[in-house]
């Protein structure tokens, strides 16, 4: 081994022990050599950087027109020499390349810029919102959608997406419930893994992948009252058995980055939470990726009452474990002084800079800092991308109710009524990145007309707006309904009613929409209700008026066609709810995996039902599936052994269909009270009419029967466990 390499490796070792690498000046820039390991390149580059250069790498600003209305931010098209990264708001790579070139012209060490953006459910090809995607129970399709999003984004100048959002959410008043994968920890974890795999692929280098970002770490979905940005009170037990579960799964899947959340947890903001950001993330889980704060989250520590000024905020966030400061420049303005004052060790600076440099090396930005500029026609909205979009939209829609075979539509004289009936824009949903209304391929009305063909008579009336008190359209709506054989009423939410800073005090639709439905129902025709929304809804007054209900969510650019396919019967719906629909808002929080009450038969509401209207996992089909009894490969098991449970599912209906089998476990007696049901496995398959298929859940006790305590230690207790599918249950005994 040459002296040169020995000195380098010594430096790497020094850095790895939290020291600061120092290289003699005569060394050639090893970091310029792509055949060297990332560790060696990072150590070499770090040793050459000044403190000021290091600190600039720890800040992120915006570039282009800030499209996030919730973040007060100016339009910025200039750059700050040496600043490490930007949120990139433009839809193609030109400005990004221009700024990259300017940076590299002045950068003493030629460190390229890193560009991030919120690619939440697509970049330009907009997919269903994540809450809808989870109702597809098709992890591979979600992975494919993220791979499409990664390709469009990377080829448009974005190296890093602030996605997936995996905050377990059980309060639909919170607008961001739209952005995650529902109420269940395991479900959020499975889709976190699918998203990380889709975004990052096998390598971060090249035009088909972007770095993923697990967010918002952690417990953001518990914001009090469903009000965004509010404090949370989460027990240490709940932190470990619910909110941290998806993050550990996403990190094990190789997520490159993570974002700290706005909320506090029991008085300690997530962004200044040393326990979470260092003891758990680094020391327990060994996460080596970048932690970026949320927008202004460092400065907001002052609002949260834990920092007197921006300097103290910078110190608390940085020493807790945040590496990169998004937007507020607290790190840029104060870290140097904090180092000089001895409040921030240089080793901590180096550890953060090292992670950011490692990400840039892994992304290949030193070798290829520029995005190859490709015209839109070759870069976005490709037919193959839309095909994935269509499949995911079809599989995420949920048939909630279907009395007397109202659906699929058999009548050809159809009235399409409601504020959502001929709307396109709101099909995009919140966080629609570079999605454009002109990319939406038709409204519900337009697609249903095309679907039913010239022999059908499809009429339309808007009836009312999304909200307000204008009832003047009711008359026309009733007239159109009167002349039809069946009425499709399309109600729902504007895309701005969910997402960030979009909390609502009730899950109910605006009164005007409920009144429209009641008016139309007076015509006595079969009523099919179609809902397009970003949260579970309060449907207690609506449900009795409808013969069928389809939850289409906010399905993206080909959602209208997907819905038309379901209404016509061309597509057999296969979605199932990943979040509970309560009867009414007052029941919140109401979710399937709650712990048993002390008096299960008492304590019910005196004035309303206590059970949900539609439970987690609910979803109908145009066919019927019959479940056989659960078959066990054994009824006892020991640690280290595996046990199989099987169920035979038969399609007893008249059409092919897709069915998801959800496998739950329960430990009825444990040293820590456990939920009455815990989802541990799910599988979706196509089962042809008349066909039977056997689904198998291979139980690994350590993985599937264990629990976690309030210190994050997983434990496994002998005893009886239930395994449940639908209304079937078997017992297994875990022996000492
Ligand atoms: C926002 C969101 C976060 C997003 C970030 C950048 O405030 O909370 O999810 O990634 O800022 O836009």
- CB-count exposure of residue 653 (10 Å: 0-12, 13-18, 19+): middle
Cα separation of 385 and 395, whole Å?
16
Ligand 1 nearest atom to the CA of residue 118, by list position:
10
Query: Helix 559-568 vs helix 383-396: angle between axes, to the nearest 10 degrees?
Result: 50
Is pLDDT above 60 for 440? Answer: yes
538 lines ligand 1 (CB under 6 A): no
Reported as a single tens digit per residue, the pLDDT across 452-504 is 999 999 999 999 999 999 999 999 999 999 999 999 999 999 999 999 999 99
CB contact set of 199 (below 8 Å; sequence gap of 6+):
146, 147, 149, 150, 161, 163, 164, 209, 210, 211, 212
pLDDT of residue 207: 84
Is pLDDT above 50 for 21? Answer: no
pLDDT of residue 573: 98
Cα separation of 205 and 201, whole Å?
10
71 lines ligand 1 (CB under 6 A): yes
The best mutation among 64, 70, 71, 115 to test binding of ligand 1, ranked by most ligand atoms within 8 Å of the C-beta, falls on 71
Q: What is the mean pLDDT of the chain?
A: 95
Reported as a single tens digit per residue, the pLDDT across 540-578 is 999 999 999 999 999 999 999 999 999 999 999 999 999
Reported as a single tens digit per residue, the pLDDT across 716-731 is 999 999 999 999 999 9
Ligand 1 mean position to 295 CA, how many Å?
A: 6
pLDDT of residue 70: 74
Ligand 1 mean position to 180 CA, how many Å?
A: 13
Atom 6 of ligand 1: nearest residue by CA position: 295
Judge contact between 317 and 325, C-beta under 8 A: yes
Question: Which residues are catalytically annotated?
Answer: 294
Reported as a single tens digit per residue, the pLDDT across 613-635 is 999 999 999 999 999 999 999 99
Q: Which residue has the tokens 């479940």?
A: 627
pLDDT of residue 74: 65
- Beta strand 631-632 with 719-725 is unpaired
Distance of CA 56 to the CA centre of its chain: 30
The three-state (H, E, C) secondary structure of 159-208, written as one string: CEECCCECCCCCCCCCHHHHHCCCCCHHHHHHHHHHHHHHHHCCCCCCCC
Is pLDDT above 60 for 309? Answer: yes
Q: What is the DSSP string of 473-541?
A: THHHHHHHHHT-SEEEEEEE--GGGSSTT---S-SBPPHHHHHHHHHHHTT---EEEEEE-SS--B-TT
CB contact set of 143 (below 8 Å; sequence gap of 6+):
194, 195, 197, 198
Q: What is the DSSP string of 693-732?
A: EEEEEEE-IIIII-EE-TTS-EE---EEEEEEETTEEEEE
Average pLDDT over residues 224-228: 98
Both structure tokens of 632: 């066990």
Both structure tokens of 175: 């607008």
Backbone dihedral angles phi then psi of residue 686, each to the nearest 5 degrees:
-85, 130
Judge contact between 184 and 177, C-beta under 8 A: no
Ligand 1 nearest atom to the CA of residue 295, by list position:
11
Atom 10 of ligand 1: nearest residue by CA position: 162
pLDDT of residue 22: 45
Cα separation of 426 and 558, whole Å?
12
Judge contact between 565 and 203, C-beta under 8 A: no
CB contact set of 178 (below 8 Å; sequence gap of 6+):
129, 130, 131, 429, 430, 431, 498, 499, 534, 535, 554
CB contact set of 660 (below 8 Å; sequence gap of 6+):
137, 574, 576, 619, 682, 683, 684
151 lines ligand 1 (CB under 6 A): no
Reported as a single tens digit per residue, the pLDDT across 344-395 is 999 999 999 999 999 999 999 999 999 999 999 999 999 999 999 999 999 9
Atom 8 of ligand 1: nearest residue by CA position: 294
- Beta strand 719-725 with 728-734 is antiparallel
Reported as a single tens digit per residue, the pLDDT across 277-295 is 999 999 999 999 999 999 9
- The pTM for the full model equals 0.95
167 lines ligand 1 (CB under 6 A): no
Ligand 1 mean position to 294 CA, how many Å?
A: 6
The best mutation among 89, 212, 294, 503 to test binding of ligand 1, ranked by most ligand atoms within 8 Å of the C-beta, falls on 294
Ligand 1 mean position to 358 CA, how many Å?
A: 23
Percent helix, strand, coil in the chain, to 5, is: 35, 20, 45
229 lines ligand 1 (CB under 6 A): no
Query: Helix 511-521 vs helix 474-482: angle between axes, to the nearest 10 degrees?
Result: 30
Cis peptide before 430 (omega within 30 of 0): no
SS3 233: coil
pLDDT of residue 474: 98
66 lines ligand 1 (CB under 6 A): no
Query: Helix 185-200 vs helix 245-252: angle between axes, to the nearest 10 degrees?
Result: 30
173 lines ligand 1 (CB under 6 A): no
Of the candidates 215, 81, 198, the one whose C-alpha atom is nearest the C-alpha of residue 143 is 198
Is pLDDT above 80 for 19? Answer: no
CB contact set of 37 (below 8 Å; sequence gap of 6+):
none
Task: Kindly report the number of other CB atoms within 10 A of residue 736's CB atom.
Answer: 7
The best mutation among 177, 213, 214, 295 to test binding of ligand 1, ranked by most ligand atoms within 8 Å of the C-beta, falls on 295
Reported as a single tens digit per residue, the pLDDT across 154-185 is 999 999 999 999 999 999 999 999 999 999 99
Reported as a single tens digit per residue, the pLDDT across 319-338 is 999 999 999 999 999 999 99
228 lines ligand 1 (CB under 6 A): no
């Amino acid at each position: 081994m040459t002296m040169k390499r020995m000195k380098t490796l010594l430096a790497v070792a020094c850095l790895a022990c939290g020291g600061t690498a120092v290289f003699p000046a005569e060394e050639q820039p090893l970091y310029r050599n792509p055949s060297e390991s990332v560790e060696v390149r990072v150590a070499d580059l770090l040793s050459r950087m000044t403190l000021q250069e290091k600190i600039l790498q720890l800040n992120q600003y915006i570039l282009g027109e800030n499209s996030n209305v919730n973040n007060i931010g100016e339009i910025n098209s200039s750059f700050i020499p040496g600043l490490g990264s930007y949120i990139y708001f433009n839809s193609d790579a030109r400005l990004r390349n221009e700024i990259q070139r300017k940076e590299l012209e002045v950068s003493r060490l030629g460190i390229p810029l890193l560009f991030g953006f919120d690619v939440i459910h697509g970049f330009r090809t907009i997919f269903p919102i994540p809450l809808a995607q989870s109702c597809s129970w098709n992890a591979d399709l979600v992975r494919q959608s993220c791979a499409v999003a990664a390709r469009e984004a990377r080829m448009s100048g974005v190296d890093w997406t602030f996605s997936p959002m995996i905050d377990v959410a059980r309060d639909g008043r919170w607008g961001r419930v739209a952005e995650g994968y529902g109420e269940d920890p395991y479900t959020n974890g499975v889709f976190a893994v699918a998203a990380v795999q889709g975004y990052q692929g096998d390598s971060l280098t090249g035009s088909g992948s972007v770095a993923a970002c697990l967010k918002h770490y952690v417990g953001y979905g518990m914001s009090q009252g469903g009000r965004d940005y509010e404090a949370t009170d989460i027990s240490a037990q709940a932190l470990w058995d619910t909110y941290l579960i998806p993050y550990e799964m996403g990190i094990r899947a190789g997520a490159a980055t993570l974002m700290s959340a706005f909320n506090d947890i029991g008085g300690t903001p997530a962004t200044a939470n040393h326990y979470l950001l260092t003891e758990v993330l680094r020391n327990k889980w060994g996460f080596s990726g970048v932690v970026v704060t949320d927008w202004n989250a460092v400065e907001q520590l002052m609002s949260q009452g834990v920092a007197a000024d921006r300097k103290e905020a910078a110190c608390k966030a940085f020493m807790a474990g945040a590496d990169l400061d998004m937007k507020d420049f607290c790190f840029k303005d104060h870290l140097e002084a904090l180092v000089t004052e001895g409040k921030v060790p240089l080793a901590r600076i180096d550890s953060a800079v090292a992670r950011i440099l490692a990400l840039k090396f892994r992304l290949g930005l030193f070798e290829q800092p520029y995005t190859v500029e490709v015209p839109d026609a070759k870069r976005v909205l490709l037919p193959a991308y839309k095909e994935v979009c269509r499949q995911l939209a079809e599989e995420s829609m949920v048939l909630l109710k279907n009395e007397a075979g109202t659906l699929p539509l058999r009548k050809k004289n159809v009235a399409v009524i409601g504020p959502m009936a001929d709307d396109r824009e709101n099909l995009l949903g919140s966080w629609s990145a570079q999605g454009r209304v002109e990319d939406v391929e038709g409204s519900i009305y337009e697609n249903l007309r095309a679907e039913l063909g010239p022999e059908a008579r499809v009429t339309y009336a808007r009836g009312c707006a999304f909200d307000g008190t204008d009832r003047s359209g009711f008359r026309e709506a009733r007239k159109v309904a009167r002349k039809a054989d069946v009425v499709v009423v399309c109600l729902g939410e504007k895309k701005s009613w969910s997402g960030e800073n979009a909390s609502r005090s009730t899950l109910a639709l605006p009164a005007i929409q409920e009144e429209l439905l009641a008016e139309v129902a007076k015509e006595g025709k079969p009523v099919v209700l179609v809902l397009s929304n970003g949260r579970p809804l309060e449907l207690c007054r609506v449900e009795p008026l409808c013969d069928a209900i389809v939850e289409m969510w906010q399905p993206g650019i080909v959602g209208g066609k997907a819905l038309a396919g379901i209404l016509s019967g061309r597509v057999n719906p296969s979605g199932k709810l990943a979040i509970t629909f309560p009867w009414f808002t007052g029941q919140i929080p109401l979710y399937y995996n709650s712990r048993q009450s002390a008096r299960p038969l008492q304590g019910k509401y005196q004035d309303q039902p206590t059970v949900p209207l539609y439970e987690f996992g609910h979803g109908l089909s145009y066919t019927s599936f019959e479940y056989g009894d659960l078959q066990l490969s054994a009824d006892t098991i020991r640690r280290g052994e595996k046990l199989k449970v099987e169920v035979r599912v038969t399609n007893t209906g008249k059409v092919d269909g897709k069915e998801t089998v959800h496998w739950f476990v329960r430990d009825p007696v444990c040293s820590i009270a456990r939920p009455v049901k815990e989802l541990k496995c799910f599988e979706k398959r196509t089962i042809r009419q008349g066909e039977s298929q056997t689904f198998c859940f291979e139980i690994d006790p350590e993985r599937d029967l264990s629990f976690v305590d309030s210190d994050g230690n997983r434990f496994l207790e002998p005893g009886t466990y239930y395994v449940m599918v639908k209304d079937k249950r078997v017992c297994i005994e875990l022996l000492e």
